[in-house]
Amino acid sequence: MKNPGIFLCSVMLLCLGGCATVAPVPGWVTRGSGAYPGDQGRYFYGVGRASADIKDQSLRFETADNRARADIRRVFDSYTTYLMKDMPEQKEAGVERSLSTFSSGRVSGLLSGVQVTDRFTDEKGNVFTLILVDLETFKKNAVLMEGLSPETREYIRKQADGAFDRVSGSQEKGLNR
């Protein structure tokens, strides 16, 4: 061997390259969006993904964040369906109108308090964003929405916990299949 230094450097580089570790994928990336109870309370989660093909990193983060917000809107739509499905039949026009407004998917007011809580970039450069809003913030925002009658506001306040339990329970069953 004419130059053992080159050989040793090559071996060291190979060894160092083999020591590189890939960050483990957080559980929320694979679990996805939903309504989940946890140690610190009850939360709605939204997960967004932006492709590594978006070269501008800030645009990639913004895209993942916006997709997570859209994802949590779908969670809210599902949640409001559970919340309203047991609402007793009301003959008053105001309650029916309020119910239609609330359950029609207009959840922009409910997104107040949504926080980006984590981001993960995989080895390919794809960005994942986790956002959440806690149940108490959701209830507070829901009863402040315009167009809801006092009866509907009270119903939401009283039934929100049970509806959350039904949504999160059905999601947990789906995860355990």
Q: What angle do CA 64, 175, 165 make, to 5 degrees?
A: 90
Residue 5 lies in a domain: no
Residue 83 lies in a domain: yes
Residue 165 lies in a domain: yes
Q: Which residue has the higher pLDDT, 64 or 165?
A: 64
* Residue 3 in tokens: 């130059």
Residue 7 lies in a domain: no
In order, the DSSP letters of 105-119 are: T--GGGGTT-EEEEE
Residue 18 lies in a domain: no
State residue 94's pLDDT score. Answer: 44
**Coil vs helix vs strand at 127:** strand
Query: Would you say residue 130 has pLDDT above 50?
Result: yes
The pTM (predicted TM-score) of the whole model is: 0.68
State residue 75's pLDDT score. Answer: 79
Mean pLDDT of 154-166: 80
Residues 41-44: contacts with CB under 8 Å, at least 24 apart: 41/134, 41/135, 41/136, 42/134, 42/135, 42/161, 42/164, 42/168, 43/132, 43/133, 43/134, 43/135, 44/72, 44/75, 44/76, 44/79, 44/132, 44/133, 44/134, 44/135, 44/138
Residues 132, 139: Cα–Cα separation, whole Å: 14
Residue 134 lies in a domain: yes
DSSP, res 33: S
Q: How many CA atoms lie within 13 A of 6 on its CB side?
A: 3
State residue 111's pLDDT score. Answer: 67
Residue 13 lies in a domain: no
State residue 60's pLDDT score. Answer: 96
Query: Would you say residue 35 has pLDDT above 90?
Result: no
Q: What is the number of structural domains in the chain?
A: 1
Residue 170 lies in a domain: yes
Query: Would you say residue 8 has pLDDT above 80?
Result: no
**CATH number of the domain encompassing residue 142:** 3.10.129
For residue 129, the enclosing domain spans 26-175
